Structure 1
Amino acid sequence: MFELLAEKKVMRDPIHEYIHIQYKVIWDSIDSPEFQRLRRIHQLGPTFQVYHTAEHSRFSHSLGVYEIVRRMVEEVEGVKEHLSEFERVAVMLAGLLHDLGHGPFSHAFELIQNHHHEYYTGQILLGESNIHQILAKANINLPEAVADIIAHRHPNKLLTQMISGQLDADRMDYLLRDAYFTGTSYGQFDLERILRTLRVADDKLVVKESGIHTVEDYIMARYHMYWQVYYHPVSRSFEAVLTSFFRRMKDLYHNNPISLAGYDMFTPFLRDDIVSIEDYVAMDEPAFMYGMSMCKKHPDQILSDLARRLLTRDLFGYSDIDNEKSIVEMKKKVEACGFDAEYYLTVDRAKQQPYQPYRGKETSLIWVMLKDGRIRELSDVSVIVQAIVKGEDKSDRKMFFPKKCVEVNHEL
């Protein structure tokens, strides 16, 4: 048995109205330093450079994911009966803590690291951290169970499906939350209807046939959010400059470590070895921006210029790539302007398919329960999803460069 709070806690939320908390281990986890750090990590990385109201954090998103998982456990027919109390608490904690390992500017930070955020999430949960002590105090097996659910290692695939599938609590919260805070309508879908039409069958989540249209709306919302918000070229431009900034810093460090003496907040991330948990959780966006402001005065002109660009939003321009020859031509223009193309010309490709059909891994699929009780994969019964699956994957390949090197007219 897990200890309950003397009185159930509620937290106001613009997406879910209220976040409901009744277990002490969940409340204590929210108060942990590792989770509170997520207040200082933007949910959408550099997207606030485009949508000025996109200032929401990984903290609020993580609470939202927890709330959707809690509702799945409490409200979706068949879920509660299939899970022990230990599994119910573990999966709610997995929803809450799934983003613990995100670094500054979220996915942009991963471009310059040797490991993805999932790796550091596992290290924080299983290593010497406050959150590990909180979970282990509640149940010695809890840290490993939570880490296994997040890492897709848990034997009960229903738990993994709730956290990380193609119709999961993570995606459902970030679509609604990101649409709300960017002021766009692309990510809207009927969460209430989806939860009402979910069931458990064959030890996995399925959608009743009557919920197909709502799930189709959800998939289309995801498609539009990726191309209108997540893959916005200005956000990608910020990531291009940020990546160049950190590559330059790494190059300077490896050539002459003394050249970066005094920039201690960055040093753990410049080495080739694994960053310690202590150093990793100490790095949030305010710390990163402070270090960047120091770099603006660095004697290396490339590093200082890239830092200035990030701090003043003097980002790179961009253009579509017609062929490989256009990259060669742009490199010549960049160098003719006096820039080192190694840091001032970046090629990036954005690619996304809103639904992945069966490719050998069943846990990530969306399953539909037909009126006769048969269970089919979504793309077998939805004309809209069939068209998406059979169509070509949309991709967008761009190059990013200083705007002075060529005339560009972008709405930034």
Structure 2
Amino acid sequence: MNEKVFRDPVHNYIHVSSQLIYDLINTKEFQRLRRIKQVPTTAFTFHGAEHSRFSHCLGVYEIARRVTEIFEQKYAGIWNADESLLTMAAALLHDIGHGAYSHTFERLFATDHEAFSREIITSPETEIYNVLSQFSPDFPEKVASVINHTYPNQQVVQLISSQVDCDRMDYLLRDSYYSAANYGQFDLMRILRVIRPTAEGIAFERNGMHAVEDYIVSRFQMYMQVYFHPASRSVEVLLEKLLKRAKWLFKQDRYFFEKTAPNLLPFLQENFTLDDYLALDDGVMNAYFQSWMTAEDKILADLSSRFINRKLFKSVTFDGESQSQLYRLTDLVQSVGFDPEYYTGIQASFDLPYDIYRPEKENPRTQIEIIQKDQKLAELSTLSPIVKTLTGTSYGDQRFYFPKEMLHLNDLFAANKEIFISYTANDHFTPPVN
């Protein structure tokens, strides 16, 4: 086929010369990703972050394409060129199972985007399966095994999922670009020059170590400054409470949801299929939330209005010592008329920016290997003082969320609110000393 190009703000041009890849892009399951935001709650804080899973998946494919092209040219004796197309297909489809408001929705309705990814790829009912199986009957299973980390060649698996993989490299650059937060920028071109396949997987040449080091620091900064932003997490809490109220109300008034949210019914009934899952996207859910703003149930209507109109909960951090005293804040919220079941929440966000390989862990991470002059491998943190300081340490915080009205004093409950404000000075929960 003639080469197709997609103009992209991160990679400039995304090149597609494989008919298989082009056909996958044009399937209805992949086109659906245009309607799934990459960082749906972050967009409430960084207004430019309206980009989709579609553009991200194309970006991951493009990085994988560049890497495999380099491997074919420079490392023919180590890299099997027959696996290049498999790597690119897995890169393109790695997020195919993500759904509407994916992680928050998953927690409430017990869905699993990884399981759905496998089903979309391996189910004969999907267009994606038909494209893959026409290439070879076992190709759908091969692609799924790469995404599930069970494919035997670790070179392929680590390009899609490791501590420096095509997925992470694209989403850091892409989320940084669209959020206008420069923390996520790093030297991708340099990393592509120094990445190479090894017998065990993927490693990096010593002269490119600082580019990898910069990538680790950028990842740390993006999580601390963007992904863990208190306002973005407030959106998650609000969305979780909204859907929780809908689940409870469905048992009382099924007809209301049949009328206002038909595509959500299978999930409220806890009996959904792949077709049901694919029928939901962010736009469909937002339309339902807008219709709920006029619901007779005051809590559902209010939470929907808060979500659609960005009236977010406020928050304070707390630590292990004060956690047992959070009931004081909950009681005060209830005393002014808010049901704490739906108007308070705890949100904990922690990230491990880098860690060495620890096989005793349930899900051990790959570690980043640097190739020395003598061709031996050295783990990155043994060479980089900056990375060493991040190794094995989690960063983040725990937050208690509550209605912003608790910080207003102009009503009959001002005395209780004044107590609440005294507990939450400096954005940290400080319970009284008994």
TM-score norm. by structure 2 comes to 0.89
Counterpart of 2:24?
29
Counterpart of 2:347?
348
1:97 counterpart = 2:93: yes
Counterpart of 1:150?
147
Residues 12-411 of structure 1 correspond to what in structure 2 (within 5 A)? 12-76=7-71, 81-127=77-123, 128-255=125-252, 257-262=254-259, 263-273=261-271, 275-322=272-319, 323-360=322-359, 364-389=366-391, 392-407=393-408
In 2, Cα distance between equivalents of 1:305 and 1:363: 43
Aligned residue pairs total 404
Identify if the C-alpha distance between structure 1 residues 152 and 139 changes in structure 2 by more than 3 Å, giving closer, same or farther. same
- Measured against aligned partners, the alpha-carbon deviations of 1:149-207 in whole angstroms (never above 9, x if no partner) come to 00101111111100000000000001111111111110010001011011122241111
SS at match of 2:109: coil
SS at match of 2:183: coil
2:266 corresponds to which letter in structure 1?
P
Shift of 1:29: 0.5
- Measured against aligned partners, the alpha-carbon deviations of 1:319-378 in whole angstroms (never above 9, x if no partner) come to 112412442111112111211111111001110111121111777221111111111221
Identify if the C-alpha distance between structure 1 residues 258 and 52 changes in structure 2 by more than 3 Å, giving closer, same or farther. same
Q: Is the 8 A contact 1:161 1:363 kept in 2?
A: no
Q: Is the 8 A contact 1:125 1:131 kept in 2?
A: yes
Extract unaligned runs of 5+ from structure 2.
Answer: 409-420, 428-434
Identify if the C-alpha distance between structure 1 residues 340 and 363 changes in structure 2 by more than 3 Å, giving closer, same or farther. closer
Identify if the C-alpha distance between structure 1 residues 250 and 362 changes in structure 2 by more than 3 Å, giving closer, same or farther. closer
SS at match of 1:399: strand
Identify if the C-alpha distance between structure 1 residues 373 and 83 changes in structure 2 by more than 3 Å, giving closer, same or farther. closer
Counterpart of 2:413?
none
SS at match of 1:101: coil
When the two chains are superposed, the root-mean-square deviation of aligned CA atoms in Å is 2.0
Q: Is the 8 A contact 2:109 2:270 kept in 1?
A: no
Identify if the C-alpha distance between structure 1 residues 26 and 81 changes in structure 2 by more than 3 Å, giving closer, same or farther. farther
Higher-Rg member (1/2): 2
Q: Is the 8 A contact 1:74 1:80 kept in 2?
A: no
- Measured against aligned partners, the alpha-carbon deviations of 1:30-51 in whole angstroms (never above 9, x if no partner) come to 0111111111111111111111
2:345 corresponds to which letter in structure 1?
T
SS at match of 2:262: coil
SS at match of 2:164: coil
In 1, Cα distance between equivalents of 2:345 and 2:67: 43
Which moves more between the two structures, 114-123 or 146-155?
A: 114-123
Extract unaligned runs of 5+ from structure 1.
Answer: none
SS at match of 2:391: helix
In 2, Cα distance between equivalents of 1:359 and 1:196: 28
2:395 corresponds to which letter in structure 1?
K
2:265 corresponds to which letter in structure 1?
T
Shift of 1:405: 1.9
Which moves more between the two structures, 39-48 or 74-83?
A: 74-83
Q: Is the 8 A contact 2:228 2:396 kept in 1?
A: no
TM-score norm. by structure 1 comes to 0.93
Counterpart of 2:430?
none
Which moves more between the two structures, 248-257 or 142-151?
A: 248-257
1:47 corresponds to which letter in structure 2?
T
In 1, Cα distance between equivalents of 2:266 and 2:333: 32
Q: Is the 8 A contact 2:155 2:202 kept in 1?
A: yes
Identify if the C-alpha distance between structure 1 residues 375 and 313 changes in structure 2 by more than 3 Å, giving closer, same or farther. same
Shift of 1:293: 1.3
In 2, Cα distance between equivalents of 1:310 and 1:303: 11
Residue identity over aligned pairs, in percent, reads 39
In 1, Cα distance between equivalents of 2:265 and 2:77: 50
